[in-house]
Amino acid sequence: RRVAILISGRGSNMAALIRAAGGPDFPAEIAVVISNRADAAGLQKAQESGVPIEIIESKPFGKDRAGFEAKLQQALDARGIELICLAGFMRLFTAEFVQRWYGRMLNIHPSLLPSFPGLDPHGQALRAGVKISGATVHFVIPETDAGPIVLQGAVVVRDDDTPDTLSERILGIEHRIYPEALRLLAKSQVRLDGDLCRTSAV
Ligand code: GRF
């Protein structure tokens, strides 16, 4: 399956996906990394890994989300993309774009959804005093950081955690579960059952 990874920044999840996809028997190929920001640090990492990159800046489109998405869709079509992984992609999509890719677009969020969607999930978790947090890979629906859950991984929250230390530990989990979730999707071992995602025996 041909996959596009969409990024806006650092790209550590992107790098984990590229690494996994380079392994033997991985059922998907990272065909392109697309950034909506020219200064995303992940772009250089992608290039170093030999993955084609494209920059489609969203800023010039302002509030014209559909205009940006038309350009994005063109790039995805041109490369025969079948699946999309959002990896720190900081731009919201229209419901139309999400609908078009429903069941074929994944996102990762650093909390155990449905807890703590949106910004500063680590700070939200610490302020709530939860003792366990983690990361979630889910199918994208129009609502932000929601949608059928594919995989989750947990970490214990320590009393002395700061958003930075918690984020670092959760990132380790993210880098494990995102490639695994993509593997499941690419092998059609996950399927949507209403609002839920079911995984067949692996
Ligand atoms: C990750 O924590 C991801 O869960 C969230 O944004 C961050 C992106 O980090 N959506 P990176 O660019 O993958 O390093």
pTM of the predicted protein model: 0.97
- Nearest ligand 1 atom to alpha carbon 108: 4
pLDDT digits (tens, 9 = 90+) for 169-193: 999 999 999 999 999 999 999 988 8
Domain boundary among 39, 74, 101: 101
Quote the pLDDT of residue 200: 87
Q: Say whether both 1 and 96 belong to one domain.
A: yes
Number of domains in the chain: 2
Backbone torsions φ then ψ of 24, nearest 5 degrees: -65, 140
Q: Report how far ligand 1's centroid is from the alpha carbon of 89 (Å).
A: 8
**What CATH number should be reported for the domain holding residue 50?**
3.40.50.170
Closest CA to 130 of 171, 90, 170, 175: 170
92 with 121, same domain: the answer is: no
Instruction: Name the catalytic one among 109, 122, 138, 175.
Output: 109
- Known binding residue 65? Answer is yes
CA of 169 to the centre of ligand 1 (A): 12
* Residue 122 falls in the annotated catalytic set: no
122 with 191, same domain: the answer is yes
Digit-coded pLDDT (tens) for 32-58: 999 999 999 999 999 999 999 999 999
Host domain of residue 71: 1-101
Q: What is the pLDDT of residues 101-137, one digit of tens each?
A: 999 999 999 999 999 999 999 999 999 999 999 999 9
pLDDT 10s digits, 53-97 = 999 999 999 999 999 999 999 999 999 999 999 999 999 999 999
Name the β-bridge partners of 86. 6, 107
Nearest atom (ligand 1) to Cα of 110: 4
Q: Span 137-153, mean pLDDT?
A: 97
Between the CA of 146 and the centroid of ligand 1 the distance, in Å, is 16
Q: Are residues 119 and 163 in the same domain?
A: yes
The dihedral over CA atoms of 9, 65, 182, 14, expressed in degrees to the nearest 10, equals -10
Question: Do 89 and 167 have their domain in common?
Answer: no
